[in-house]
Copies of this chain bind each other. A is one copy, B any other.
Amino acid sequence: MNGARFTGKIAALCGGVGGAKLALGLSHLLEPDQLSIIVNTGDDFEHFGLAISPDIDTVIYTLSGEVNPETGWGRKDETWRFMEALTRLGGETWFNLGDTDLATHAFRTGRLAGGAGLTDVTREIARAMGIKVAILPATDDPIRTVVETDEGALPFQRYFVGRQCQPAVRSLRYENARNTRPTPQVVAALEAPDLAAIVICPSNPFLSVEPILAIPGIRERIEARDVPVIAISPIIAGQSIKGPLGKMMGEFGMASDVASIADHYRGLVDILVVDEADREAVFDGTKKRVTKTLMKTLDDRIALADFVLRTAIDAKGDTK
């Protein structure tokens, strides 16, 4: 933004690693009260009795500077004494739990058991870790992504971590979605009078964004706004940067390219930001904006966030 201050608010829909990187960039350019990060909870699960919210934790660790820079998830300077002891016991070790990461899950589990909502607990953890922007679970109600595969139905983490996304995906279900509600904080973020844009981070549309949109009232509220809805393609030159998206699109019979992303989001998204590698991509009904979208460094994250904010300014009054 070249020092010019962006006015108005941003609501960003976000999954894990890739989305968190853009959220971090946005947090560098916006005042805390200008940014609400609405996070997928479809990946949440219980393990050893602990309530684990992988995407929320990735966003918290990323924004607090606590994230493991090598993986993009988990905590830096982590130790693995718990896992070593669990291995000696013959316990289930398919999901890695670092010694300090465990504290986040235990804290959350204890507060939830005491009657707090996921939004409250998330705010407490984020504040304790020095984060000022609002990290908002899309819902406080349980919603669970189930992956229908050629090996049968798998809870999300069993597919994603346990089976390393190996089984072919036939379809996805967002279990209990119809019984969930967006939180008042999410509703307020989407209905803010000074909302300038809604950003869909470069997260997996099917695994990270769709579980948010499946919560009754969220998609409708986004569609009802006359602010630009800007998505950043998680596909670059036919490849997903991380995770099973490219493979999954193939399994769904879709071409793994930005045009398919545009198709998927058609009617919801006004502008799709694609990488320079996809400069020549052609799709109808959605505006295309081109920049470098691969985020390797903090500067990359801030530059992409800056581009998104500029796109929002340019598009103002120009959409819907």
Interface residues of A (CB under 8 A from B): 46-51, 79, 81-86, 88-92, 97, 99-107, 109-110, 113, 124-125, 128-129
Contact = CB atoms under 8 A, between A and B. Distances in A.
A91 B128 CA distance: 10
Contact of A51 (B49, B97, B100, B101): B49
Contacts of A101: 85
Contacts of A85: 99-104
A124 B49 contact: no
Given A81-B100, A100-B82, A110 B91 contact: yes
A258 B227 CA distance: 81
Nearest to A77: B81
A109 B51 CA distance: 13
Given A48-B50, A48-B109, A82-B99, 18 more contacts: A47-B110, A48-B105, A49-B51, A49-B106, A50-B50, A81-B100, A84-B103, A85-B101, A85-B103, A88-B103, A89-B124, A89-B125, A89-B128, A90-B107, A90-B124, A97-B106, A99-B99, A99-B102
A128 B50 contact: no
B103 A91 contact: yes
B100 A84 contact: yes
A89 B104 CA distance: 8
A104 B113 CA distance: 21
A79 B99 contact: yes
Contacts of A107: 48, 86, 89-91
Chain copies in the assembled complex: 2
A90 B128 CA distance: 7
Nearest to A127: B90
Contacts of A48: 49-50, 105-107, 109-110, 113
Nearest to A75: B85
B125 A106 contact: no
A92 B108 CA distance: 11
A155 to B, nearest CB: 14
B86 A99 contact: no
Contacts of A51: 49
A112 to B, nearest CB: 8
A220 to B, nearest CB: 35
A24 to B, nearest CB: 20
A320 B124 CA distance: 62
A102 B90 CA distance: 14
A276 to B, nearest CB: 40
Contacts of A84: 100, 103
A77 to B, nearest CB: 9
A81 B75 CA distance: 12
B110 A81 contact: no
